[in-house]
Chain A
């Protein structure tokens, strides 16, 4: 699918002027709050009318102010999952799920109720009322409701933002399954590096209503300067790996990546399964010689590709490990102490324990470098 957006819109003092074209399976709209993400989503969904511009989904023009085209929201076939779920309180879960289906012509329905209910694991909730659901359950039902309207594009507006960490961890796998198993393009709004690195194939970074950057997830996540200040610690390299084997003795999993083998806490995935890893830049130690007497298990040899000044006296060092870039954030003192410069052979050292559920994900093979 292709999504073309080129719009200009003003809301009070805030102006949104956004232009991008996306082809990814899951495109993340990423940026701090107030950057215009939700306004943009509302415009794509037809909840707001842009002052000027064009929105085209797979050749279907939804908005073109020049040609005076404005497809009303109920005919857009663009699903929207709201941050606050917005389930209908007067209907059961099943009633909510079937709502959009009712308005979709038979010939255009592609989502089957059983498949969606199974995918989201909400079979046991069907007879319940929305008021009796937990936040995570509500959000899953909201996703199911949007899917069953058989949309051509699914928009998700910070669907996890109002949930606590445990609930987020509960829903993320369902969104991954949705991305991998349903043939529907998704635009996912988030301000969380963890979510974007885990889910996105493509990232559009918004800042004060403008597109600050746009590209594959792996490339954007390395640009720490693009990340919101409070999320910078979460930035780093996103790399693809494959489960090579499980180490039963120490309860670990060995992943094969372009940068070499990486040991992580045990993953529940069969050998050969693709895994996406986010290696936080602050978790990577640089050694000029292969270290001895060190507890860290992952020692990746490489060559310094570039060094840039980072935020607050820190330095961002990009290490090229066999063609895979690993980003490390160290102090300027360390940099000078070790005398690091581009071209130097070094070792990137990463603790196994620094990997957890928030920065490892299965699925979405091969799209990271696309």
Chain B
């Protein structure tokens, strides 16, 4: 059974990279996710439906298309890519940061959806009550809204993380499959299946992939339950 437990350095790299990419993608998109969810749940502005459609686009587009669009926009020659590289020194193409960007975009609709639903479930009367007690809108959000939507935020983060762990099409299109830089778990598994005798490696990484995803899921359930108990609801 030693073939199951011993990972080669390349495989370790893929595991570490996947966790890093997924974590960064999840954390970096969280503020934007909350802001977008707030806009969609509460905002009354022209183009709200357009924004909603835009956010959900990665969910319905073939991942390859999303990856290709990212390549066009954030590649070395792309308008956003060249601007960021010139002014901030941030490079996405063929870097792990690019993988994180692709994962963040792919997981974004899931994250926004979960948070938006929890915002819509918040009893706005509680926010009114907080207002009459002297809290301005920022304080109301921080002390009442945010704690009440915490279960939704946790759910959104986990969904985004899980999506990132499994993201393949957009990542490989945008940043390719470079071992040690952009080769995440799915890409590594894919590579193994393309070479003779790669079955053992593919199986090892598959098991690891299952374990990580399952752990994340259980962890989120446990956290959501604790928060739920604290709120005294369901």
Contacting residues, chain A, for B8 (C-beta < 8 A): none
Contact among A74, A80, A131 with B135 in the assembled complex (CB-CB below 8 Å): A74
Check if B125 sits within 8 Å of A89, measured CB to CB: no
Provide the B128-147 mask, 1 if CB < 8 A to any CB of A, else 0: 11111111100100011001
Is the pair B128, A103 in contact by a Cβ cutoff of 8 Å? no
Q: Which residue of B123, B132, B147, B232 contacts A131 across the interface (Cβ within 8 Å)?
A: B232
The reply to whether the CB of A88 lies closer than 8 angstroms to some CB of chain B is yes
What chain B residues lie within 8 Å of A90 (beta carbons)? 144, 147-148, 230-231
* Size of the chain A interface, CB-CB below 8 angstroms: 30
For A130, the chain B residues whose CB sits under 8 A away are: 232
Q: Are A88 and B134 in contact (CB under 8 A)?
A: no
A86 touches B126 (CB 8 A): yes
* Residue in chain B with minimal CB distance to A102: B134
Partner of B232, one of A45, A47, A77, A129: A129
B195 interface contact, C-beta 8 A: no
A79 contacts which chain B residues (CB < 8 A)? 132-133
Contact of B125 with A86 in the complex, beta carbons under 8 Å: yes
Interface residues of B, Cβ cutoff 8 Å to A: 123, 125-126, 128-136, 139, 143-144, 147-148, 230-233
Q: Which residues of A contact B136 (CB under 8 A)?
A: 72, 74
Q: Is the CB of A73 within 8 A of B131?
A: yes
Q: Does A149 contact B (CB under 8 A)?
A: yes
Would A103 and B232 count as touching, CB distance under 8 A? no
Q: Is A46 an interface residue (CB 8 A)?
A: yes
Contacts of B130 in A (CB 8 A): 88, 99
What are 9 A-B contacts defined by CB distance under 8 Å?
A73-B132, A74-B132, A74-B139, A86-B129, A88-B126, A100-B133, A103-B135, A103-B139, A130-B232
Contact residues of A with B, CB < 8 Å?
Answer: 45-47, 72-80, 82, 84, 86, 88-90, 99-100, 102-104, 129-132, 145-146, 149
B126 touches A47 (CB 8 A): no
Q: Are A84 and B233 in contact (CB under 8 A)?
A: no
B148 partner residues in chain A, CB cutoff 8 A: 89-90
A86-B125, A99-B143, A130-B232 known; 10 other A-B pairs, CB under 8 Å?
A74-B133, A79-B132, A80-B132, A86-B126, A86-B128, A89-B126, A89-B231, A99-B130, A99-B135, A131-B232
Chain B residues near A78 (CB-CB < 8 A): 132
B125: shortest Cβ distance to chain A, in Å?
Answer: 5
Chain A residues, Cβ within 8 Å of B233 = 89, 131
User: Which chain A residues border B132 with CB–CB below 8 Å?
Assistant: 45-47, 73-74, 76, 78-80, 146
Which of A82, A103, A131 is in CB contact (< 8 Å) with B134? Answer: A103
Residues of chain A within 8 A (CB-CB) of B126 are 86, 88-89
Docked complex Cα distance between A331 and B177 (Å): 97
CA of A74 to CA of B132, assembled, Å: 5
Residues of B contacting A73 with CB < 8 Å?
Answer: 128, 131-132
